A and B are shown apart, each in its own frame.
Chain A
C-alpha cells in the first residue's frame, strides 16, 4: 500500500435527528489518519463520536458530509472490496443468543467463503476452543468479547477494528487481547482500537488519535504525544519544604504541595531544579521527572477543549 494510510477521513460529519427533530452532532469535521501497520488507539470520552466514526467506516451509518478512504478504497463505492480485508467488532459483541459460539462463527464463515477449519483455528486462537459448542447466551462478557475478536480474524484481515475490546475481560483476558493486538500488528496488519482503558492502550499502541465532541484534538505517535508534555514537571522531596518552595518560586517556576512532596512546573529539567536547591543549601531526598501517561495527556486535552 506504500504510504497510503489504512484509514483516512476528511471533513467527516454525522448528525443524528430524533423523531422530535432534535439534532445531535456526533461527528463534526473529523480528519482521521490511521497509518498502515501497527496499533492505532482511537480515544475520546463517552459521546465523542468514536463508535459513530467506526460505523461510518464500515458503511453502517451514512455520513452527512466528508470523505472516507478505507485500505485505499474510496467509500461508499469501494465499501465491498475494502471490507473483504477488514474484521470489526462494533460496540458490544452481538451474536445469535440461541446458537453456539462455533455456529455463530460458521454462519459468518459460510457467508465470507471461509473454510470451517478456520473457525476452529480462530476459536483456538482466542481461547474458546473448549467452549465453542456452548450457546452464546451462556457466555460471560469476557467470552463474548473473545468470540467477537475471533470473528474479526476469520478472513485474515489487513485491518482489524476493535471497539472497546477489553470490556468485561479479567486481567488475564486483557493481557491476552493486548498480546493479540500486538501480534496482529507485528504480522503487518493495522489494528484500530477504541478504548477507554487508556493504560491498556498506552502499552500497546504505536499511534493515537484523540477525539472530543466529534472532532480530532490530537494525533501522532504515542511517544511523541507523551514527549511533548514531559520534562516540565519535577517532583521533589525535601525536609525544608517551605524554604525549598520559596527558592524555587523565586526562579519563576510554579510550585505546589503534594503530600510530602513539592511539584514543580515550568522547570527546564530536573537538574536545574536540583541545582537551584543545592545553591541555597537544600538537598533533596528524592527528585523525579514526572512523565505524563496517556491518560494525563487525554485528560489535559479534553479539559482544554471543554474549557
Chain B
C-alpha cells in the first residue's frame, strides 16, 4: 500500500492537469487580490473633496434645521423637541473600503468552491486518464489487489489536493497583505487570523472529500465524459430542481451541506399550511425556517463521499480490465 501510494503521489505530482489546476487556482487568487484594490487603495483627491463638500453641506443643512427647531420650540413650549442635532463625523462621509480582515475573510470564503472544483477535476482525471491510456493493465501486474489500487489512488488524490489548496489560500492572504500594506492600510488587527484559519481547515476537509468523490466516480464510470455527465445531471436535478420542486429535500443538496459545514449553519424555508379556523376552505400558510447545522452538513458530505467511493470500489473489483 505504501509503495503504491508513493508511486501514485509521484505520478500525480508529474501530471500536467495537477499543475494546470494549481495555475487556475492562482489566477483565482490573483483575481481576489485584484478585486480588493477598490477596498485597499488610497482615496483620490476628488473623492476627498466630494466627501468634504458633502460634509459641509450637511453641516449647513443641520445648522438651518437647528435654527428652525429652536424657533418651533419657542413657539410651542409644550412640544418636547430635541434640537441638539449634529452632523456625523467627516470621516463617515468618505467610504474607505472594507478592512483587511473583512476582505481576507470574504476571499477565503470565496475560495471554497474553486478549491473543491479543482480537487474534483484533478481526482477524476487522475483515474480516468489511467483507463483512457490503458495503463491500468501493467499497473495491475505490479499492484494486483483492486482494493489496494483504489485506496492508493484515492489517497494520493486526497493528499495531493491539500498542498494546492494551502498554496492558493497562502497566496491570496499574502497578496492581500501586500496590497493593504502597500496602500498604507492596517493588516495587523487582532483576531484576524483565527476565523480565517478555522475556515481554511474546513475548506481542506471539503477539498479532500471532493477528491474522494472524484476518484470514486472515476472508478465507477471510467470515462471523464461519463463523470461530467453525471455531475451535470446532479447539478440540474438535485442542486437546482429539487429545492424548487420539493423544498423539504434541500438538506440533501451538496450546496446546502457544504455551506452549513463552512459557515456553521445553513438555513432554508419550507412553506407550511394549516387550516384557518376562521376560513376552513382557505389554508393558512407561513414560511418556516429550518437549520442545517455544521456537523450535520459534514456528516452528509462524508456519507456521500463514502457511498461514491464504495461504488467505485465495487465496480472496479467486479469489472474485467480489457
| Residues of A participating in the B interface, judged by any CB pair closer than 8 Å | 55, 58-62, 79-80, 83, 86-92, 94-99, 103, 106-108, 110-113, 148, 151
* Contact assessment for B140 and A58 in the assembled complex, using a CB-CB cutoff below 8 Å: yes
Which residues in A have their C-beta under 8 angstroms from that of B137? 55, 60, 90-91, 94
Residue from A60, A79, A88 in contact with B322 in the complex, judged by beta carbons closer than 8 Å: A60
Residue from A62, A87, A91, A103 in contact with B141 in the complex, judged by beta carbons closer than 8 Å: A87
Q: Pick the 4 closest A-B CB pairs, nearest first.
A: A111-B7, A110-B7, A94-B134, A60-B321
Name which residue of chain B comes closest to A58, CB basis: B141
* Contact assessment for B141 and A61 in the assembled complex, using a CB-CB cutoff below 8 Å: no
| B295 part of interface (Cβ distance < 8 Å) | no
Which residues in A have their C-beta under 8 angstroms from that of B135? 94-96
Which residues in B have their C-beta under 8 angstroms from that of A113? 3
* Contact assessment for A111 and B322 in the assembled complex, using a CB-CB cutoff below 8 Å: no
| 20 further interface pairs, Cβ-Cβ under 8 Å (given A106-B10, A108-B7, A108-B142) | A55-B322, A58-B141, A59-B144, A60-B137, A60-B322, A61-B321, A61-B322, A79-B144, A86-B141, A88-B138, A88-B141, A90-B138, A94-B133, A94-B135, A98-B16, A99-B11, A107-B10, A111-B7, A113-B3, A148-B138
Can you name 26 A-B pairs with beta carbons within 8 Å? A59-B140, A60-B321, A61-B322, A80-B145, A83-B141, A83-B142, A86-B141, A87-B141, A88-B141, A89-B138, A91-B137, A92-B134, A95-B133, A95-B135, A95-B138, A96-B135, A98-B16, A99-B11, A107-B11, A110-B3, A110-B6, A111-B4, A111-B142, A112-B3, A113-B3, A148-B138
* Contact assessment for B3 and A111 in the assembled complex, using a CB-CB cutoff below 8 Å: yes
Q: Shortest CB–CB separation between residue B4 and chain A, in angstroms?
A: 5
Name which residue of chain B comes closest to A80, CB basis: B144
Which residues in B have their C-beta under 8 angstroms from that of A96? 11, 129, 133, 135
| B189 part of interface (Cβ distance < 8 Å) | no
Q: Give complex CA distance A143, B134 in Å.
A: 18
| B37 part of interface (Cβ distance < 8 Å) | no
* Contact assessment for B7 and A60 in the assembled complex, using a CB-CB cutoff below 8 Å: no
* Contact assessment for A97 and B140 in the assembled complex, using a CB-CB cutoff below 8 Å: no
| Residues of B participating in the A interface, judged by any CB pair closer than 8 Å | 3-4, 6-7, 10-11, 14-16, 129, 133-135, 137-145, 318, 320-322
Which residues in B have their C-beta under 8 angstroms from that of A98? 15-16
Name which residue of chain B comes closest to A60, CB basis: B321
Name which residue of chain B comes closest to A103, CB basis: B14
Q: Give complex CA distance A83, B14 in Å.
A: 27
Which residues in B have their C-beta under 8 angstroms from that of A106? 10
Q: Give complex CA distance A268, B144 in Å.
A: 54
Given known contacts A79-B144, A88-B141, A60 and B3 CB-to-CB distance under 8 angstroms? no
Name which residue of chain A comes closest to B319, CB basis: A62
Given known contacts A94-B137, A108-B138, A62 and B320 CB-to-CB distance under 8 angstroms? yes
Which residues in B have their C-beta under 8 angstroms from that of A62? 318, 320
Q: Shortest CB–CB separation between residue B272 and chain A, in angstroms?
A: 47
Which residues in A have their C-beta under 8 angstroms from that of B6? 110-111
Given known contacts A61-B322, A112-B3, A97 and B133 CB-to-CB distance under 8 angstroms? yes
Q: Give complex CA distance A252, B136 in Å.
A: 60
Q: Give complex CA distance A92, B3 in Å.
A: 26
Of the candidates A103, A106, A110, the one having the most CB atoms from chain B within 10 angstroms of its own CB is: A110
Q: Shortest CB–CB separation between residue A58 and chain B, in angstroms?
A: 6
Q: Shortest CB–CB separation between residue A291 and chain B, in angstroms?
A: 38
Which residues in A have their C-beta under 8 angstroms from that of B141? 58, 83, 86-88
* Contact assessment for B10 and A61 in the assembled complex, using a CB-CB cutoff below 8 Å: no
Q: Give complex CA distance A86, B145 in Å.
A: 15
Given known contacts A55-B321, A96-B133, A110-B6, A60 and B140 CB-to-CB distance under 8 angstroms? yes
Q: Give complex CA distance A158, B140 in Å.
A: 18
Q: Give complex CA distance A80, B166 in Å.
A: 38
Which residues in A have their C-beta under 8 angstroms from that of B15? 98
Name which residue of chain A comes closest to B149, CB basis: A111
Which residues in A have their C-beta under 8 angstroms from that of B142? 83, 108, 111-112
Name which residue of chain B comes closest to A52, CB basis: B322
Q: Give complex CA distance A61, B321 in Å.
A: 6
Q: Give complex CA distance A98, B15 in Å.
A: 8
Which residues in A have their C-beta under 8 angstroms from that of B143? 111
Which residues in B have their C-beta under 8 angstroms from that of A86? 141
Q: Give complex CA distance A113, B14 in Å.
A: 19
Q: Shortest CB–CB separation between residue A143 and chain B, in angstroms?
A: 16
Q: Shortest CB–CB separation between residue B96 and chain A, in angstroms?
A: 50
* Contact assessment for A61 and B133 in the assembled complex, using a CB-CB cutoff below 8 Å: no
Q: Give complex CA distance A110, B3 in Å.
A: 6
* Contact assessment for A94 and B14 in the assembled complex, using a CB-CB cutoff below 8 Å: no
Name which residue of chain B comes closest to A100, CB basis: B14
Q: Give complex CA distance A113, B135 in Å.
A: 19
Which residues in B have their C-beta under 8 angstroms from that of A91? 137
Which residues in B have their C-beta under 8 angstroms from that of A108? 7, 138-139, 142
Which residues in A have their C-beta under 8 angstroms from that of B145? 79-80
Name which residue of chain A comes closest to B129, CB basis: A96
* Contact assessment for A55 and B320 in the assembled complex, using a CB-CB cutoff below 8 Å: yes
Residue from B7, B14, B133, B138 in contact with A151 in the complex, judged by beta carbons closer than 8 Å: B138
Q: Give complex CA distance A86, B139 in Å.
A: 13
Name which residue of chain A comes closest to B140, CB basis: A60
Q: Give complex CA distance A59, B137 in Å.
A: 10
Q: Give complex CA distance A230, B141 in Å.
A: 41
Which residues in A have their C-beta under 8 angstroms from that of B144? 58-59, 79-80, 83
Q: Give complex CA distance A10, B4 in Å.
A: 33
Which residues in B have their C-beta under 8 angstroms from that of A79? 144-145
